[in-house]
Structure 1
Amino acid sequence: MTISMTPPATTPAATSAALVLEDGTTYRGRAYGATGTTFGEIVFSTGMTGYQETLTDPSYHRQIVVMTAPHVGNTGVNDEDPESDRIWVSGYVVRDPARRVSSWRAQHSLGEELAGQGIVGISDVDTRALTRRLREEGVMRAGIFSGDDLVRGGYPRPVEELVAEVQASPQMAGADLAREVSTTEAYTVEPATVNPAEYGAGKAPIATVVAVDLGIKTMTPVRLAERGVRVVVVPQSSTIADVEAALPDDGTPTGVFFSNGPGDPGAAGHEVELLRAVLDRGIPFFGICFGNQLLGRALGYGTYKLGYGHRGINQPVLDRTTAKVEVTAHNHGFAVDAPLDEEGSAAPHDGGRYGRVVVSHVGLNDRVVEGLTCLDLPAFSVQYHPEAAAGPHDAAYLFDRFVGLMTNPAAWPPAIKSPHSAAQINTEENH
């Protein structure tokens, strides 16, 4: 299937671009950012703002991102908003890029930033039609080809040849990617640096957390440090000995955090074993996004690939411990397969050695598991991004919940308060 959106004849050939899906669907447009060839799993993001945070989120590693908002790039790019030190998306698809930057904070345009970092993109694409196709058929592999890469021997390359290259590119299922985006050296984020007004006069941190970087966003340790927590960020390859060595032994509250990140949780064997070692030692644990999927696997639940995932900043989630609905920021293509049992049921791993677990958060669009809470261990997780970069701030309380878990463990676990029964929420299979 070919959907033609050929640029006007006056457009130089060097700016022509094609987006090719693995099912053969082809969209024609113009090069945006760098020219060349790129491959990745093509996904769509429904956020109408926060494109700079999206581009620099390591969870998008090896993915081509389609923006459903029709006009992208108005506020340009600055050096304050990135969530990491580089752009991680493998490709970028927009309908109508801004012709002029309009923000006092902008330091350069989005197109300049993409080109400067070698990110191959395409514009002038009907992103509404593309998004509908991905919703109907599911996310798939894709490639963007532009400039000289669309030509061979002076003639346009056959679409069949481009499709074959896409089909030969790696799939996301089975991909172990956290090691590719993680820090290689440990570093510390201090409360005194982030919140000097309260912690700058020699006041000691209220707790220390070891954050395992699986693709961590910059704002995540900042949100913890704002609350008085010293955060030691360690590489994905860390062992339980490395984690324990980074925790103080003076009796002050401690915890372990697993971040967001890219790839298939089913391929993350090292991370699952590390997390089980944390649970075995009774260290308070909090995980988000990829960290939620890893907690699910550590507890013995399965994970599965969603048809087209959750990516955006407008996803409604029910917190069953407060009976409140919050609008949340998401970026995930996998989910945990756990029962919506309000009373909690024994986790399957090793004959139930981790005790009872309850699904604490449920997605209201499709009843996907959005959070887990251990009732007999000091551990919980959510599937979304409470650091709100970019996104709503409804879920910021989760960092307070983690602080409370470390400083007042006697108050754990929170009770389920939701009036919604499992039957009401889950009238059919939740995946």
Structure 2
Amino acid sequence: MKENQKIIAKLILEDGTEFSGYSFGYESNTNGEVVFNTGMVGYPETLTDPSYRGQILVCTYPLIGNYGVPSGEKENNLYKNFESENIHIRGLIVSDYSFEYSHWSAERSLSNWLKEEKIPAIYGIDTRMLTRKLRDKGTMLGKIVIDEKSKIDFEDPNQRDLVGEVSVKDPFEYPAGKKKIVLVDCGTKNNIISAFLGRNISVIRVPYDYDFNTIKADGIMLSNGPGDPKMNSATIENTKKAMLKNKPILGICLGSQILALAAGADTYKLKYGHRGHNQPCNELGTKRCYITSQNHGYAVDSSTLPEDWREWFVNDNDGTNEGIIHISKPFFASQFHPEASPGPDDCEFIFDMFVRALK
């Protein structure tokens, strides 16, 4: 890109701090919650993760875009290279954007993809300074300003029904084997569905507020998703009813928080959340530490867990809860993503545990 073609773009935080760079995405203003991700690779999967709904994403890894964007190939009616049908972030902030990309599977540049999806993006910003600020001050609201003449205000996306925005509208089945689970779609990643299909488990995907207790199935999966878990009152109530039936229940990410709330525990918002592919988690009662993929801004308050529940995993960096398990019933959940995508798949054994629990 020639120097005279550069378009100035600004990131403005709610405390008035401004970062100036150049646009490489859709040339429009936007707003959202500014968060950072420490992953080195995996931006096609990350940008399409529905858990990022309403957020302006800061990549701490400095060079982004060097391997382009892969094709939209599908398998089992699911995108193989993306975690959903479209990009969910509100904006992207990087230090250095690679205008020349190279990869055997690349079909287009990251810049062109962002423009097609109408997602603003900025490069040339000191992302180290920005990340340190978010770590010190906590997650902040922000806005990307490219068109100075068009006014845009700050907006807290967590006040919206984010899960309702990303959940499917009608039930949909992915047939495989005889055993069948209900997947409560709070913003599920495609790879969670693929993890079950690969284990010969049929999946019935239902909206987050659907009364899934009316469906005959062998188990229930509560998916990941965006925003404050307490906003999902219908899902929490349906989970309470499901727990009375003693059917196996697995929660992932937001699903872990929903399961905890249904059990009677509490959740709270983290200062700056966990987002990346390198989060160490200790399995309590063992000497095992797993490297996990994560994307969440809220956590379960383990001190509020009822007596028949216990912590399963804790984050080795800050000691926050990373999983819960019932002492006698087949209910368990992980705050991290055992399916990874992107990231390490050290914890896929959690899916195997759930499958073994299905009757």
TM-score range, shorter chain: over 0.9
In the TM superposition, what whole-angstrom CA distance separates every residue of 1:192-215 from its partner, at most 9, and x where no partner exists?
xxxxxxxxxxxx43x210000000
Structure 2 counterpart of 1:138: 138
When structure 1 is superposed on structure 2, of 76-85 and 356-365 the one drifting more is: 76-85
Name the CA distance, whole Å, in 1 between partners of 2:4 and 2:131: 26
Q: Whole-Å Cα distance in 1 between the matches of residues 305 and 266 of structure 2?
A: 14
The residue aligned with 1:177 is 162
Task: Judge conservation of contact 2:188–2:223 (CA < 8 Å) in 1.
Answer: yes
SS of the residue corresponding to residue 386 of structure 1 reads: coil
Q: Are 2:60 and 2:127, in contact at CA under 8 Å, matched by a contact in 1?
A: yes
Amino acid at match of 1:114: L
Residue 49 (structure 2) pairs with residue 57 (structure 1): yes
Which residue identity does 2:156 align to in structure 1?
Answer: P
SS at structure 2 position matched to 1:326: strand
Tell me the distance in 2 between the aligned counterparts of 1:76 and 1:293. Answer: 34
SS in 1 for 2:24: strand
Question: Are 2:176 and 1:150 aligned?
Answer: no
AA in 2 matched with 1:219: N
The structural deviation recorded for 1:171 is 4.9
**How far does residue 177 in structure 1 lie from its aligned partner after superposition?**
1.5
Whether 1:11 and 2:4 are equivalent positions in the alignment is yes
Secondary structure at 1:112 match in 2: helix
* 1-structure distance, mates of 2:181, 2:285: 24
Work out whether residues 17 and 150 of structure 1, in 8 Å CA contact, stay in contact via their aligned partners in 2.
no
Which secondary structure does the structure 2 equivalent of 1:65 belong to?
strand
Cα gap change, 1:336 to 1:131, in 2 (>3 Å): same
Deviation at 1:346, TM superposition (A): 6.8
2:248 to 278, 284, 289: 284
Deviations 1:267-292 (A, max 9, x none): 22111101101101111100000000
- Which residue number corresponds to residue 247 of structure 1? 216
Identity of aligned residues (%): 38
1:82 corresponding residue in structure 2: 82
One-letter code aligned to 1:261 = G
The alignment yields a C-alpha RMSD, in angstroms, of 1.8
Counterpart for residue 413 of structure 1: none
Quickly say closer, same or farther: Cα 1:171–1:58, change in 2 above 3 A. closer
Q: CA deviation at 1:12?
A: 4.2
Of residues 250, 263, 288, the one that matches 1:324 is: 288
1:239-318 correspondence to structure 2 within 5 Å: 239=211, 243-248=212-217, 254-318=218-282
Which AA in structure 2 matches 1:187?
Answer: F
Residues in 1 aligned to 2:187 and 2:285: alpha-carbon distance in whole angstroms: 28
Match runs of 1:383-398 below 5 Å: 383-398=335-350
For the residue of structure 1 that corresponds to 2:106, the secondary structure is: coil
- Give the direction of change, closer, same or farther, for the CA distance of 1:321–1:225 in structure 2 (3 Å limit): farther
Give SS of 2:169's match.
coil
Cα distance in 2 for residues equivalent to 1:256 and 1:41: 31
Deviation string for 1:1-25 (max 9, x for gaps)?
Answer: xxxxxxx9x5347x11000000000
Instruction: Write out per-residue CA displacement over residues 204-234 of structure 1, whole angstroms, 9 at most, x where no aligned residue.
Output: 43x2100000000001011011112111111
CA distance in 2, matches of 1:47, 1:244: 37
Structure 2: state its 5+ residue gaps. 73-79
Give, in whole Å, the separation in 2 of the partners of 1:337 and 1:377.
Answer: 21
Bigger relative CO (Cα 8 Å, ≥ 6 apart): 2
Q: Does structure 1 conserve the Cα–Cα contact (< 8 Å) formed by 2:213 and 2:242? A: no
Q: Structure 1: where are the runs of 5+ without partners?
A: 1-7, 153-160, 192-203, 249-253, 340-344, 348-354, 408-431
Q: Deviations over 1:102-124 (max 9, x none)?
A: 10100000000000100011111
As a proportion of its length, which structure holds more strand? Answer: 2
Cα 1:296/1:141, change in 2 over 3 Å = same
Mapped to 1, the partners of 2:229 and 2:182 lie a distance apart of 20
2:326 aligns with 374
How far is 1:55 from its partner? 0.2
Aligned length in residues = 351
- Structure 1's consecutive aligned runs of 4 or more residues displaced over 3 angstroms after TM superposition are 10-13
* Cα contact 2:260–2:305 (8 A) shared by 1: no
Instruction: Please report how far the alpha carbon of residue 320 of structure 1 lies from its aligned counterpart in structure 2 after TM superposition.
Output: 2.0
Mapped to 2, the partners of 1:217 and 1:322 lie a distance apart of 29
Counterpart for residue 18 of structure 2 = 26
- CA distance in 1: counterparts of 2:120 and 2:99, whole angstroms: 18
The CA deviation at 1:175 is: 4.0
Q: Say if 1:360 and 1:371, in contact at 8 Å, map to a contact too.
A: yes
Indicate conservation of the 8 Å contact 1:186/1:234, yes or no: yes
Equivalent-residue separation in structure 1 for 2:30 and 2:336 (angstroms): 28
Question: Which amino acid letter does the alignment assign opposite residue 247 of structure 1?
Answer: K
Amino acid at match of 1:246: I
Instruction: Please tell me whether the aligned partners of residues 71 and 98 of structure 1 are also in contact (alpha carbons under 8 angstroms).
Output: yes
Q: Does the aligned pair in 2 maintain the 1:363–1:369 contact within 8 Å?
A: yes
SS at match of 2:9: strand
Q: CA separation in 1, counterparts of 2:131 and 2:224? A: 24
Deviation at 1:31, TM superposition (A): 0.7
2:44 alignment partner, SS class: helix
Distance 1:28 1:346 in 2: 45
Structure 1 length-normalised TM: 0.78
Cα contact 1:211–1:258 (8 A) shared by 2:
yes
> What displacement does 1:324 show?
1.2
What is the SS of the residue equivalent to 1:150? coil
Once residues 188 and 268 of structure 1 are traced to their aligned partners in structure 2, the CA distance between those partners, rounded to angstroms, is 23
Match of 1:400 among 339, 352, 355: 352
Contact 1:279-1:377 at 8 Å conserved across structures: no
In structure 2, do the counterparts of structure 1 residues 322 and 397 end up closer, same or farther at CA, with 3 Å as the change threshold?
farther
The match for 1:426 is none
- Per the alignment, residue 120 of structure 1 pairs with 120
C-alpha separation in 2, matches of 1:12 and 1:105:
29
